Chain A
């Protein structure tokens, strides 16, 4: 018997359309991942009932788990489709779009919320000003570099947000990933200048206090980013900032 790859895909023609499940089968080939399999299906968009249908829509870019675009729910788990190897997956492979972001079509969602959140928490470093910030490149100890490296790997994929029970349409929570980025930028020698602004941003509406310590984010992050560590560290930084605001400033 010829081996097959069997997909069950949750499809939706548009943001307001009704979702439905559709099954596809394709010939097996070694070393397929979900994205490469979806590419095959795009060329052969025939479902298991033999109907020729619109090709499945999904988002993808880098193919090496660094851009975050292909995040979707694979067999119940939010992850990057490019890094989901067919040989490792139980069949039929169920694909669903992320549920916490506005749906565009089929498996494609609009993750704009994440980029808005990064702006809200000021997750950037001002490099140009009218003053000379550093005479030399700032020194960072290897230990701090190691920690910063962990957080620098965030690809804004949204898996952590998908799993977070505090992040949803009805809440203003910025979610775990942006909090990790605040910690990253606060620990940069030049980023430190704006630490207070960033802390004030996450002490406002939708900030760190919306975290309920369910700690799902750290379990699902494809990049193993220590998000709960970041949230606890920010807990300390914001508590200290609050006391400074109350008694010093």
Chain B
């Protein structure tokens, strides 16, 4: 990691312009486009028949031709580049939000803070779902028969440290904060993309673009939020599909607390 970072720093001082352009473009296409699609799919989990719609959507995506290439060049490589190079950029910040308490300065600061947070979140998220079957052989691939159940399982019955209750709370909090961080980072990214690429120039134009970007961010947050709520609600609607009944141990400690 350290050598990657110093290599990236060296490259940055040599070719800052094309690299920064590629970095910001990467955040919009393909990463932003992917995020929009992802939140759209997630939002389908909400409401009556949500499970079916969600599953259809996931199966459709996993049925796309050349999926491996789409994933590699459309998701993983751009992510890796955006993240590694993004760290190089974020490290050049000397934060001064307390001395210069302006909205713009906080936005700039949070763009970098949310980046670090989103990075951690996405790594956990990927191992929680996309690569779970690599790490834990008995886990099924997320794209298989019932993605909805697997997703619900991964979110609300996740027990890494033993205590089911603690882990579930941690996971749910992580997902809500992660979702907010990603949406903020993307919305602010759209705004600064428009400035650095010379699309929005005047203060007014920058404000207009800012409003649009904020609207996109809020919409995505709502989409993702619908998904989280939809998955949560489903636990009361749908009986656990397997005999393992993953939600069992959630109740036990609760009762113990009440009785104790």
A: interface residue count bin: 35 or more
**Which residue on A lies nearest to B104, using beta carbons?**
A215
Residues in chain A near residue B191, CB distance under 8 A:
213
A110 to B95, CA, bound (A): 23
Query: B161 an interface residue at 8 Å Cβ cutoff?
Result: no
Query: A69 an interface residue at 8 Å Cβ cutoff?
Result: no
A235, B198: Cβ atoms closer than 8 Å: yes
Residues in chain A near residue B99, CB distance under 8 A:
76, 163
Residues in chain A near residue B111, CB distance under 8 A:
212
List residues of B (189-212) whose CB comes within 8 Å of A's CBs: 191-192, 195-203, 206
Contact with B along A224-249 (1 / 0, CB 8 A): 00101101111111111010000000
B: interface residue count bin: 20 to 34
Residues in chain A near residue B107, CB distance under 8 A:
214
Identify whether the interface residues of B are mostly helix, strand, loop, or mixed: helix
**Which residue on A lies nearest to B102, using beta carbons?**
A219
Q: Would A210 and B198 be within 8 Å (CB), given that A165-B108, A228-B203, A232-B206 are in contact?
A: no
Query: B255 an interface residue at 8 Å Cβ cutoff?
Result: no
From A25-33, A85-93, A201-209, give the one contacting chain B: A201-209
B102, A170: Cβ atoms closer than 8 Å: no
Residues in chain A near residue B108, CB distance under 8 A:
165, 212-215
**Which residue on A lies nearest to B195, using beta carbons?**
A232
Pick the contact of B95 from A165, A205, A220 — CB < 8 Å?
A165
A163, B96: Cβ atoms closer than 8 Å: yes
Residues in chain A near residue B102, CB distance under 8 A:
214-216, 219
B189 to chain A, nearest CB (A): 10
Q: How many A-B residue pairs have CB under 8 A?
A: 107
B105 to chain A, nearest CB (A): 5
Q: Would A242 and B100 be within 8 Å (CB), given that A228-B206, A231-B195 are in contact?
A: no
B80 to chain A, nearest CB (A): 20
Residues in chain B near residue A232, CB distance under 8 A:
195, 198, 200-202, 206
Query: B94 an interface residue at 8 Å Cβ cutoff?
Result: yes
A57 to B156, CA, bound (A): 65
Query: B152 an interface residue at 8 Å Cβ cutoff?
Result: no
**Which residue on B lies nearest to A167, using beta carbons?**
B94
Pick the contact of B94 from A168, A205, A231, A238 — CB < 8 Å?
A168
B115 to chain A, nearest CB (A): 12
A237 to B13, CA, bound (A): 21
19 additional contacts (CB under 8 A) given A209-B196, A235-B197: A172-B13, A173-B92, A203-B16, A205-B14, A205-B16, A209-B17, A209-B21, A213-B192, A215-B108, A220-B100, A226-B203, A228-B195, A228-B206, A229-B203, A231-B195, A232-B198, A232-B201, A235-B198, A239-B21
12 chain-A/chain-B pairs, Cβ below 8 angstroms:
A205-B13, A207-B16, A214-B102, A214-B107, A216-B105, A219-B100, A228-B203, A235-B197, A236-B197, A238-B17, A239-B21, A239-B198
- B-side interface residues toward A, CB under 8 Å? 13-14, 16-18, 20-21, 89, 92-96, 99-100, 102, 104-105, 107-109, 111, 191-192, 195-203, 206
